[in-house]
Amino acid sequence: MTTDNCLSSSPEGQAVRILELDRVLSLVAAKASTASAKAALLALEPAPVKDAAKLRETLIKTAAFMELSRECGAVPLAGVEDLGPFLEEVRFPESWLPPRELLVMARTFAALEGVCNYRDMAAERAADLYQPVALVFAGIESFAPLVRLIESCINDEEEIRDNASLDLKDIRRRIVSSRRQISTHLNEILSNPELEPFIQDSLVTVRNQRYVLPLKTNFRSSIPGIIHDHSRTRQTCFVEPLESVTLNNNLALLLQEERQEEINILRMIGDRLRQAATAIVMTLEQVLALDQLQAKALFGAQIKASAPVLLESWEAGFFLKAARHPLLAATQSKNQVVAIDIEFPAGRFGLVISGANTGGKTVSLKTAGLIALMARCGLLLPVAPESRVPLFPRVFAAIGDEQNLAASLSTFSGHLLAVKSILEMADANSLVLLDELGVGTDPREGAALAQSVLIELKLRRAIFMVTTHYNDVKSYAYEETDLS
């Protein structure tokens, strides 16, 4: 079993799946412009608590970027491609890229120029908003000279321009003259009335880069020459008259000169790219980070998110004010999503939620759990900014019965197995979310089981949220001073 499979089948991995962090990351990745940033965001995993300072810095930058984009619009990143494979191709002296790949590079450089223009505009137009994210733009260089060089040598049809070099222009002029000379000579042969019975078609054509005449196969010896090809029906043969061999040879030499000069031009461009390779790589790495940050900011704007206080321990407080489920916030207006407050008062680390079946108990659990995971991913959260969100090293969840169905277990058996696995791993650094604890069996047995689980979680000092409809469990929570 691979490491990823082990993680996904562990209680922590099951919680990530149940709480649908992957759906959130997909929505964030959809905001990115580059393929590399999309892939990086999709692969994002909750960071360890030791990275708390870095996560706080990311939230501050993301929030600042969100404000900047509201004022100045999004950074134009469309058209930026991964140039790593192309740079690898020109790593060695005299290596070169074909015109198609050079145009991809030119388009990327042009897009980077747009990023530089945005940076200058934002710094001037919204200096206060730009300053907190200035370092994100640092190191992004302009490659306008390379754009001009490539575009001066390659046209939009992926052909090397005549004026890419003086030598190429002269060679192509001579090629045109040579073709004209051969055509004139062969047309003179075609116009000879004595040869008319032997000619299949009065058009000069080309076979194997040699100018030839189409003769009727039965009369192929009527004009001394070299047969280069036959038609599909074999009724026509294509003959290069002996008297035009020297002209065709001269043309072939010119075409070789042309190709060599084209390669010289491509090598010259390759040299320039190789000299700038380090700067190009560093710029693209910075753009990758910029794209990821902007995607997070755009998603944050979509769900009306903020940067709350991140805590390294739940003992310092856990308070979600005006919290909304991130996936609901992403698809509905702010007024359509019911916001909730979740608070663990000082000295209390358990919260028992009861109410009607459609009262939003399960959504409350998922909201708290998903927000906890998103905080460790450095994402803005759909809560009021005065919220206090602990960075839980472990998040566990037993919600719903889809896992039980996959394992061919009854609802109760599957629920019991999930809770057992969680209890084996939960500790004082854990957030545990249990939906309808003890459901699926005799109410008295279920209530007793639920109560014993709560006692065990208290002993382990795990912070937990539990939904229940058992009165005995609600009474127990009411009587215990460290539960709410």
CATH number of the domain bearing residue 421: 3.40.50.300
State the pLDDT confidence band at 116, using cuts at 50, 70 and 90: very high
330 in a structural domain: yes
| CA distance linking residue 344 with residue 426, whole number of Å | 18
User: Looking at the structure, do residues 471 and 365 belong to the same domain, yes or no?
Assistant: yes
User: Looking at the structure, do residues 326 and 435 belong to the same domain, yes or no?
Assistant: yes
Which residue matches tokens 């698809």? 331
Is 141 a residue whose pLDDT tops 70?
yes
Name 364's Cβ contacts closer than 8 Å, sequence gap at least 6. Answer: 340, 342, 353, 465, 467
Tally of domains in the chain: 3
2 in a structural domain: no
- The reported pLDDT for the residue numbered 481 is 64
Alpha-carbon distances of 215 from 27, 42, 185, 232, rounded to whole Å: 67, 65, 16, 14
Domain's final residue, options 286, 302, 318 = 302
User: Looking at the structure, do residues 281 and 317 belong to the same domain, yes or no?
Assistant: no
User: Looking at the structure, do residues 67 and 181 belong to the same domain, yes or no?
Assistant: no
Per-residue pLDDT tens over the stretch 315-361: 777 899 999 999 999 988 767 888 999 998 767 788 888 877 665 88
Higher-confidence residue of 61 and 220: namely 61
Structure token digits, residue 246: 């020297």
Per-residue pLDDT tens over the stretch 236-253: 999 999 999 999 999 999
Structure token digits, residue 462: 């795990």
Which residue matches tokens 């054509």? 205
255 in a structural domain: no
Give the structural domain span for 41.
15-143+276-302
- The reported pLDDT for the residue numbered 117 is 97
State the pLDDT confidence band at 406, using cuts at 50, 70 and 90: very low
* 463 contacts 433 by C-beta, under 8 angstroms: no
4 in a structural domain: no
User: Looking at the structure, do residues 187 and 242 belong to the same domain, yes or no?
Assistant: yes
151 in a structural domain: no
- The reported pLDDT for the residue numbered 410 is 52
User: Looking at the structure, do residues 472 and 346 belong to the same domain, yes or no?
Assistant: yes
360 in a structural domain: yes
Q: What is the rounded average pLDDT of the residues 222-238? A: 90
Domain's final residue, options 247, 266, 285 = 247
User: Looking at the structure, do residues 444 and 459 belong to the same domain, yes or no?
Assistant: yes
User: Looking at the structure, do residues 201 and 315 belong to the same domain, yes or no?
Assistant: no
Per-residue pLDDT tens over the stretch 171-221: 999 999 999 999 999 999 888 888 888 888 888 999 989 999 999 988 878
6 in a structural domain: no
User: Looking at the structure, do residues 380 and 289 belong to the same domain, yes or no?
Assistant: no
State the pLDDT confidence band at 409, using cuts at 50, 70 and 90: very low
Is 262 a residue whose pLDDT tops 70?
yes
User: Looking at the structure, do residues 285 and 419 belong to the same domain, yes or no?
Assistant: no
Per-residue pLDDT tens over the stretch 425-459: 999 889 999 988 776 667 788 788 888 888 899 88
Structure token digits, residue 481: 């001073």
439 in a structural domain: yes
Higher-confidence residue of 30 and 457: namely 30
Strand partners, 467: 353
- The reported pLDDT for the residue numbered 2 is 42
User: Looking at the structure, do residues 188 and 208 belong to the same domain, yes or no?
Assistant: yes
User: Looking at the structure, do residues 138 and 172 belong to the same domain, yes or no?
Assistant: no
pTM of the model: 0.85
Q: What is the rounded average pLDDT of the residues 279-303? A: 97
